[in-house]
Structure 1
Amino acid sequence: MLTKKTVACINKTIWIELIKKVGLRNYSSATSKAGIDDLLRYLRSAYTNENSDVLNNLDDLIFKQMAFEQPNTYKIEKINVSGNITPEVFNQLEDTLNINRSFYDETLTAMIKVISSRLVIIDNTVSRIIMLVKVGETNDKTMFGVQNVIFNVTIDFDKKLISTGYHKGSFEKYYNESFAETYEKMIHWLSVNVLANLNVTLSEFNEEALKTTLYKMFHELTAPIENKLELALPPNVDGLIQNFFDDVGIQLKEKYQKQLYSILFQDYGDAESTEFQEGLYDDGWIFRFGFRDGDFTRATSRTEDQSPVYTSPIYWNLKELINEKTKLTDAGFVWVTDTGMIEAKIDVQNKAFIIYLYKTEHEWEEDRIEYIRRKIIQHL
């Protein structure tokens, strides 16, 4: 039966939105004035009285809310997959994975357990499985007491990736164990109870390859912007610079010329410089980056508002060094897609990608992390 510990995982206001969206009847008892116990009673009653189509829609919305709307941090690691996996393979795992299980049928006695999962099937081959995995329970300091701690774990057989999503702030505030400890326990459980049965094994990325991948993703967004900025330079700019240096009696060196270019680029790239804005950031931009230079970390940031980094003198000062190293330890991306903007900071840590998502008005939250996974595989 649907439990209070799971219901409390979703904000009351969002529950009201879900209830209205699927058209549950008599939802007045679930208004914002009602407590969590009232809401729980209402939902349990709805699950016993509503028709199956409405309840299936509700289950799908709850699943999407927990799996895609709530996580803001993802860890992505590598797996080995021996071959194509058909839906029939999962028959033996029905009791473990609870595929398409209704939240009303929730039975969580074990501390680590799959609440519900969904298969994504393409041409009779399972492309990926998305699981809501309970990994423990919070302390009692949340607004509604003890809650289930739920991770979104996606095993992508096509891309050979396993990603784990969770809400970083809530986890660190209310859970009495580190993410690293919890993750290790969960991964061990998945390896024994799920992966082994699918002939899938955990693997490791080469950390230097991940840093190179991050640079390639960075370069994909940055190169077109730099090209557009260079095309915006006046045709006689080199002559003007040479005349200036002649007038002040200083020999013009290439580095001086590039520094003057960078001043113009910073102005052209400024959001207030509307003359050059049209088309400059059509595909997105970088808002921060970091890399290692010997024993030092070099970085620049626009994290206050995720604005383009190209207005920063530090970027232009470090640009040549970035391209020489061709490796980044972290980077902040804004991608402009047909369904909205995707804003994310990606770190390379312990042979894995750590992705921090910023809240945007993207149409489908599921598409945000899937878009980033595609980008990673494209450049890996």
Structure 2
Amino acid sequence: MFRTETLKNIHIKDFEEFFKEKDVKRRSARMKHNTTIDRYNMISKLIKEEVDNPNGAFTKSEINNFIFKKLFYDNNNYEYILKYSNFFATKFTKRSVAEKYLRENPLLKFNETLENTSSDKDYELFTSKLDCQSENASAIHLLVRVGFVNNFLGKVDFFAGITVDLQNSVLIVRLNYRHIKSSNKEPLKLLKEIKDLISGTGLSGKSFVPLKLNPISLDEDTANKTIFALYKELSSEAEDLLNARMTEETEDKIKEFLKETGITEIKDEYLEQIKAVLYQDISRNINPSSFKKGWIFRFDFREGNLTRATSKHEKKGPIYSSKTYWQLKELIYGEERMHEAGFHWKIPRSSDSVDVRVYSRNDTIIVHYYYNMRIDRKEKDEFVVQKIARNL
């Protein structure tokens, strides 16, 4: 059976939708109980009954894939992005070669099912999985039980979803933000322990030695430059859109106004400052659907250790009507650094979008997904990671 402590990471509604999709008989009656905790016990029992039944509504493989995806992606909303050097595989490694290596190293628990895990040991690897593109290895995923936390459901397993992304050359450590806050481990220490673990250090790290992995932290400057590059992409699109709403006649009027005030040398920076006032006004009337790539909804700009300005849109809408945004734009572009920003990205060839807060801390880039991003997170996650890696 699956550990109840593991199942508590997944919303009961998600189980209800899975059982409905699989047309499980009498599913509501079999899950019914007075307390939420006991409902999880009933869910565990229902899963066992269906898997043990040769004519069950779903297979062991189907329920394992469902639970893995929920634990690895949907449940984790706080990601550390790092680099790495050394690994047993590259993006040119053939699927057959990678699979053979993983199977020959049983400590890596390749494709092991999740219902066989009963240990309460911290930093236990539950399973590993391989993703491939065009018959080449593209990513290795490791589901690790970090420990447990206590909340209103009692004891709950605390998981880390770790990916070595061979295509984008990044290492991703995914955690649940509430579990981090509930854990007795300080976040910086927790990240260090996970890095030591996957590099094969210490007693718990023995299982990970075959990975031959060396995690590498990002220096703060690299992280800040990357966030700025993401900021600049959306900022440039917004400015192009706003510029299109201004005519040559408008610019002529600005120049005429400056001449009338006695300014003889009309510099570009003067024009831009007055345009910024007009941009704020125009932005208030632009439909968000006009932005094709997305928009910035918050930012935190710092000089040295001091916060110069923080600005945000309360409803995560475009920030371009903010006076602070335009006041600091040229300074930010001059520094080419950004400590933190909130991005609403529209996913190409899709009606979907993703809202994330991206910031630099602890020698990593941290991506914090907003709660409403929980569903179908795998696709959103892959889009965001690719976006960051391209600018890293």
- State TM-score, norm by structure 2: 0.86
Contact 1:288/1:303 (CA < 8 Å) preserved in 2?
A: yes
- Residue in 2 that maps onto 1:115: 126
CA-based RMSD of the aligned residues comes to: 2.5
- Check the 8 A contact 2:108/2:208 in 1, yes or no: no
Q: Which structure 2 residues correspond to residues 175-194 of structure 1 after superposition, within 5 A?
A: 175-192=183-200, 193=206
Partner of 1:48: 52
How far apart are residue 304 of structure 1 and its match?
1.9
Contact 1:345 1:357 (C-alpha < 8 Å) held by counterparts: yes
Worse-matched range after superposition: 252-261 or 4-13 = 252-261
Does structure 2 retain, via aligned residues, the 8 Å contact 1:210–1:353?
Answer: yes
Pairing 1:2-21 to 2, within 5 Å after superposition: 2-21=2-21
Amino acid at match of 1:240: K
Contact residue 197 and residue 208 of structure 2 kept, 8 A: no
Separation (CA, whole Å) in 2 of partners of 1:117 and 1:151? 12
- Name stretches of at least 5 consecutive residues in structure 2 with no aligned partner: 201-205
Matched, 1:213 2:214: no
1:57–1:339 CA distance, 2 compared to 1 (3 A): farther
TM-score between the two structures when normalised by the length of structure 1: 0.88
1:295 and 1:60, CA in 2 relative to 1: closer, same or farther beyond 3 A?
closer
In the alignment, structure 1 residue 128 sits paired with structure 2 residue 139:
yes
SS at match of 2:146: strand
Contact persistence 2:320–2:326 (CA under 8 A): yes
Separation in 1 of the partners of 2:305 and 2:370? 30
1:1-380 matches, cutoff 5 A: 1-27=1-27, 28-31=29-32, 33=34, 35=38, 36-49=40-53, 51=55, 54-81=59-86, 84=90, 85=93, 86-94=98-106, 96-139=107-150, 142-173=151-182, 175-192=183-200, 193=206, 196-245=209-258, 249-251=261-263, 254=267, 255-270=269-284, 273-274=285-286, 277=287, 280-294=290-304, 296-337=306-347, 338-360=350-372, 364-380=376-392
- State the alpha-carbon separation in 2 of the partners of residues 303 and 131 from structure 1: 36
Farther-moved stretch of structure 1 (190-199 vs 330-339)? 190-199
Deviation of 1:363 after TM superposition, in Å, equals 6.8
Q: Are the equivalent residues in 2 in contact too, given 1:16–1:31 (CA < 8 A)?
A: no
Look up the SS of the partner of 1:342 in the other structure: strand
How far the C-alpha of 1:339 sits from its partner, in A, is 4.5
- Cα 1:50–1:306, aligned 2, differ >3 Å: closer, same or farther? farther
Q: CA offset at residue 55 of structure 1?
A: 2.9
> Taking every aligned residue pair, what percent have the same amino acid on both sides?
21
CA drift of 1:66 comes to 1.2
Q: Note closer, same or farther for the CA distance 1:219–1:58 as it changes in structure 2 (3 Å cut).
A: same
Deviation at 1:67, TM superposition (A): 1.1
